[in-house]
Amino acid sequence: MKVKVNRGTNQIGGCITEIESEKGTKIIIDIGANLPDSDGKVKPEIELEGLTKGKPNYKAVFVTHYHGDHIGLYNKILPEIPIYIGEISKEIYNMVQTRLSKANFVEKKDLEKIASFKTFTIKDKIVIDDIKITPIAVDHSAFDSYMFLIETDGKKVLHTGDFRTHGQRGKAVLEAIRKYVGKVDCLICEGTTLTRDNTDVLTEFELQKKAEKIFKENKYNFVLCSSTNIDRIAAIHKAALNVHKMFICDNYQCNLLEYITKISRSRLYKFNDGKNTKVYRYASNMLDEMTDYGFVMLVRANPNFEPFLKMFNDHTFIYSQWLGYLKGKNEDYKRIQEFVPKDYIYLHTSGHATPEAIKEVIEITNPEYVIPIHTEDKEKIKELTDKAVILDDGEEFIIK
Ligand SMILES: [Zn+2]
Ligand SMILES: [Zn+2]
């Protein structure tokens, strides 16, 4: 069995990992687009023979979750190669991309490509020739995210994708690895926090409690967070309900939350059950009620939300996503910088595993080799394990 990280050994995001059996069956895990660097520049994208050009030479692409740095290059994959993603992830990604297509950021042919994605759920095992892939559900800032256990030639590899253990479902991640994975030969592990400052990582529940306090003390609350960070929205929603504030979203966000309510069996994600929980779909006839009773409203950095910030100018603004967006010079980042008021309150916690969580996964899976990816300092993994294998992009590693 061979492992090759085509990209992602020395950067956060843009991950493309390859697994090849002795017989020569090749699959890809994640097909991420590059994230902008600190100056906002995005490096040119790569082309891979047999994957994005030439004669197809890969049997399948498996996507861990719908963040652009893991799925962004889907439209470059040769049409003969199937792309697999979680069933709910596919629907959420489709909703987001459909919204973007209305603003002409996404082309119709790309929506058709998304419609062609094959899906799996937590109960599935997928067999691609002599390779078996088992998805393991994880906790991350994207809903319906997975690790993949990949088995071939009598060997086991666990590819973690992005994950964490300090979210609402964090503890279940370690239990699932214990139950469904156990010992592996090789662990391919995300290392985002090896360099990012991760002192005092809040749990999602602690964040909810802090939000509750802010909402209690302030009448008009706007919250900026990713529209697909469902666990964050669940925490904000719960905080709003606990202090009896109207929780308001626009149509797009409401549709997304209603979809999650419908498909999820967990009571964590019951946004609109028609009884105890409610999401208000914004309409202009609600303005009097909003003025009288106060509210919590989810916003995105776009001109549709600017009038609300002006209308309720004595508002509190909560910034609930990565602070890096407020620093970079990228065009998308600039939009956020112009939108966010100077006196924002920062209330966020990472979607990524702390070094302690990575250490726990290493202990449970007891691998012979640990390959760090999705990190800006791969050498730092050596502080957590003596089994580190430090690869460069494109370098092959054979698991004997
Ligand atoms: Zn990522
Ligand atoms: Zn991610």
Q: List the CATH number of the domain containing 273.
A: 3.40.50.10710
Same domain, 114 and 216: no
pLDDT tens for each residue of 55-96: 999 999 999 999 999 999 999 999 999 999 999 999 999 999
Q: How far is the CA of 90 from the centre of ligand 2 (A)?
A: 15
Q: Of residues 38 and 153, which shows the higher confidence score?
A: 153
Q: How far is the CA of 287 from the centre of ligand 2 (A)?
A: 36
Q: Of residues 272 and 109, which shows the higher confidence score?
A: 109
Same domain, 45 and 118: yes
Q: How far is the CA of 67 from the centre of ligand 2 (A)?
A: 5
Same domain, 26 and 111: yes
Q: How far is the CA of 249 from the centre of ligand 1 (A)?
A: 26
Same domain, 47 and 159: yes
Whichever domain contains 192, its CATH number is 3.60.15.10
Question: Do 149 and 133 meet the contact criterion of CB atoms below 8 Å apart?
Answer: yes
* Main-chain phi, psi angles of 75, to 5 degrees: -80, 0
Same domain, 274 and 163: no
Q: How far is the CA of 72 from the centre of ligand 2 (A)?
A: 11
* Main-chain phi, psi angles of 322, to 5 degrees: -55, 130
Tell me the ligand closest to 351's alpha carbon.
Answer: 2
pLDDT tens for each residue of 240-256: 999 999 999 999 999 99
Q: How far is the CA of 64 from the centre of ligand 2 (A)?
A: 9
Same domain, 385 and 338: no
Q: Among 119-128, 277-286, 372-381, where is mean pLDDT lowest?
A: 277-286
Q: What's the total number of domains in the chain?
A: 2
Q: How far is the CA of 226 from the centre of ligand 2 (A)?
A: 12
Angle at the Cα of 358 from the Cα atoms of 355 and 363, rounded to 5 degrees:
125
Q: How far is the CA of 276 from the centre of ligand 1 (A)?
A: 35
Same domain, 174 and 287: no
Same domain, 124 and 252: no
Domain with 309 in it: 204-346
Same domain, 120 and 233: no
Same domain, 241 and 193: no
Tell me the ligand closest to 193's alpha carbon.
Answer: 1
User: Pick from 324, 346, 368: which residue ends a domain?
Assistant: 346
Query: Residue 123: what pLDDT?
Result: 84
pLDDT bin (cut points 50, 70, 90) of residue 199 is low
Q: How far is the CA of 141 from the centre of ligand 2 (A)?
A: 6
Closest among 160, 61, 132 to 367, alpha carbons compared: 160
pLDDT tens for each residue of 96-133: 999 999 888 899 999 999 999 999 999 899 999 999 99
pLDDT bin (cut points 50, 70, 90) of residue 373 is very high
Average pLDDT of the chain? 94
Q: How far is the CA of 190 from the centre of ligand 1 (A)?
A: 8
Q: Of residues 198 and 226, which shows the higher confidence score?
A: 226
User: Coil, helix or strand for 232?
Assistant: helix
Same domain, 9 and 126: yes
